[in-house]
Amino acid sequence: MSAAVTVDAVSKRFRLYQERNQSLKATLMRRGRSRYEEHWALRDVSLEIPSGTTFGFIGENGSGKSTLLKCIAKILRPDSGHISVEGKVSALLELGAGFHPELSGRENVYLNGSILGLGRKELDRKFDDIVAFAGLQRFIDSPVKNYSSGMYVRLGFSVAINVGPDVLLVDEVLAVGDEQFQRKCNEKFLQLKADGITIVIVTHDLASVRSLCDVVGWVDEGRLREVGAADEVVDAYLDHVHVGRADEGGLGSRWGSGEVVVERLEVLNVSGEPVTRARTGDPVTFRVHYAANQPVERPVFAMAVHTLQGVELTHPTTRQSGLVPERIDGNGVVDLVVDRLLLLPGTYDASAAVTDYAALHTYDHRHRAVRFDVDPGTPHETDGGLVSLGGTWRVAPLRSDQ
C-alpha cells in the first residue's frame, strides 16, 4: 500500500509574542526585535498514512495535533521537515469558511467549491447532490445570512465532502447539525471510507475514534508518542490521562450543612480496588465513604451518574430501596452494588449526596465526585447511545411455506 500522506521529520515553531511589533514605530524603537518566546508546536514528527486508511490524531488540548493537520493541509508551513500528500486534499477545518453572507446559497456553493479547488463543470454536475445532502433545496436561493447556524454548517459540510477528495482532513467537525444530519454524515464517512478515500481526523471524541479509525496517532507536547491500532493507542492514551486525573480531587461543586459529609465516592472493581475505568458488563460497586460529625437520624444516601454534557442517567437512593438506617454516628461506607454495568463506552461522572429523610435538607452533596471511563465490553455496542438494555438478539426468518 502506498502512502497517501508522508510526514518527514516535521517541526513547527510558533512565536508567542509578549510585545508584538505590529506597528513600524514599535519596530524602529526596538530595532526590529520584538520580544517573544519560542514554542515548539511540533518536534520532529515523522509518519506515513497509507492510502485508504482512516487515521485519527488524539492528544490533549495544545498537544499540536491540529497544527499537524494544518501543516498537512498546507495552511501552515513547517519550519523544518517535509510533508507530501498524494492526490487532492479537502480540509474540513471550518465549515462554510469563505461564505459571503449577502450571497445566496447557490452562489456560495460555487464560491466555496472553487475555493476548495473544484471546477465549474464539476460543480454543475455535483450541485444537486450538494444541495440535497444539505437538505436545503427550498432555501438555496436565499442569502446565507438568513440561514440558521445549523443550515450554514450543513451547507459548508456538504460542499466540502462532495468535492471528491483523495485525502480528507477533518478537525473536530463531526458533530454538526441535528441528529438526522449527523447520521447522514456518519453514513457519508463510512461510504467515503469504503470508496478508499484516506481520511485524517483530529478529535477528542474517543468513542468515534475507536469506531471510525483504523490507525491512531497520539500526539503529546508536539511529539508523536505512539502510532498503532486504534484500540491500543486509545487505551494507552486513557491510561496516561488517568494518571493525571487522580490527584485533581473533586471535579464539581459541593454544598450542604455538614452534619454528615461524603468524604469520597469510589468506583470499585470486582476485586474491591478503586478504579477509574471499567468495561461494559463488568460488576462494579459505587462506594460512598461518609463521616457523621454528630448523630443523625434516618439519613438518605443518593448517587447519580451523568454524562459530561450533564445528562443524568440514573439517580438511585437508599430510601427508595427501603434501606434507611435509624441513626448514624461516626464513619462508615454505603455501597451500591451493580452486577452488570450497563453503561456504553464513554466518560461519565458520578455524584453522591446525603440528605434527611424528606430530602428537604441536604447534609452534603458532592457533584461530580468521581469521573470514570467505560470501555467496550459485553454487550459490545459501540454504534451510539449511552446505556445498553442488556438484550439478546434473535433472528427468526418467516418461512413462506408455512
Partner 1 sequence: MATLTELSNARELMVNLTLRELRGKYKRSLLGWTWSLFNPLVTMAIFTVVFLVFLRVRIPPGDPSGMNVFAFYLLCGLLPWNFLANGMNGGMTALINNATLIQKVYFPREILVAANVASWLVSLFIELAVFAVALLIAGNMVLPWLPAVVVLVAVQAVFVVGLALLLSVLNVYFRDVQHLMAILLQLWFYSTPIVYPLTVVPTTVELFGFDLPLRAIYELNPMVGFVEAYRDLLYDLRVPAVGEIAYLLAVSVAALGVGLVVFNRLEPKLAEEL
Sorted by sequence, the CB contacts under 8 Å of residue 278 that are 6+ apart come out as 267, 269, 284, 341, 372, 373, 374, 375, 377
Label each residue of 270-304 as H, E or C.
Answer: CCCCECCEEECCCCEEEEEEEEEEEEEECCEEEEE
DSSP summary character for residue 101: T
Sorted by sequence, the CB contacts under 8 Å of residue 270 that are 6+ apart come out as 282, 283, 284
Biggest distance spanned by C-alpha atoms of the chain: 95
Smallest gap from Cβ 75 to partner 1, in A, equals 5
CB-nearer residue toward partner 1: 100 or 204: 100
Smallest gap from Cβ 272 to partner 1, in A, equals 51
CB-nearer residue toward partner 1: 23 or 271: 23
Nine cell digits for residue 132: 440535497
How many Å apart are CA 336 and CA 37, to the nearest integer?
Answer: 52
**Residue 53: count of CB within 10 angstroms of its CB:** 21
DSSP string of 29-79, one letter each residue: HTTT--EEEEEEEEEEEEEEEETT-EEEEE--TTSSHHHHHHHHTTSS--S
CB-nearer residue toward partner 1: 119 or 385: 119
CB of 116 closer than 8 Å to CB of 96: no
Smallest gap from Cβ 108 to partner 1, in A, equals 9
CB-nearer residue toward partner 1: 22 or 293: 22
CB of 278 closer than 8 Å to CB of 341: yes
Residues at the interface with partner 1 (CB under 8 A): 14, 21-25, 27, 70, 73-77, 89, 91, 93-94, 97-98, 100, 102-103, 107, 110-111, 114-120, 143
CB-nearer residue toward partner 1: 111 or 251: 111
Smallest gap from Cβ 166 to partner 1, in A, equals 13
Smallest gap from Cβ 123 to partner 1, in A, equals 9
Sorted by sequence, the CB contacts under 8 Å of residue 215 that are 6+ apart come out as 49, 53, 54, 55, 56, 227, 228, 229, 230
Sorted by sequence, the CB contacts under 8 Å of residue 157 that are 6+ apart come out as 92, 95, 134, 173, 176, 177, 185
CB-nearer residue toward partner 1: 97 or 270: 97
CB-nearer residue toward partner 1: 120 or 204: 120
How many Å apart are CA 32 and CA 24, to the nearest integer?
Answer: 9
How many Å apart are CA 29 and CA 23, to the nearest integer?
Answer: 10
Smallest gap from Cβ 61 to partner 1, in A, equals 18
Sorted by sequence, the CB contacts under 8 Å of residue 281 that are 6+ apart come out as 340, 341, 342, 377, 378, 379, 388
Smallest gap from Cβ 131 to partner 1, in A, equals 17
Smallest gap from Cβ 369 to partner 1, in A, equals 40
How many Å apart are CA 249 and CA 328, to the nearest integer?
Answer: 26
* Half-sphere exposure in the Cβ direction for 158 (13 Å, CA): 28
CB-nearer residue toward partner 1: 60 or 107: 107
Smallest gap from Cβ 24 to partner 1, in A, equals 5
CB-nearer residue toward partner 1: 28 or 333: 28
CB-nearer residue toward partner 1: 76 or 176: 76
Smallest gap from Cβ 114 to partner 1, in A, equals 4
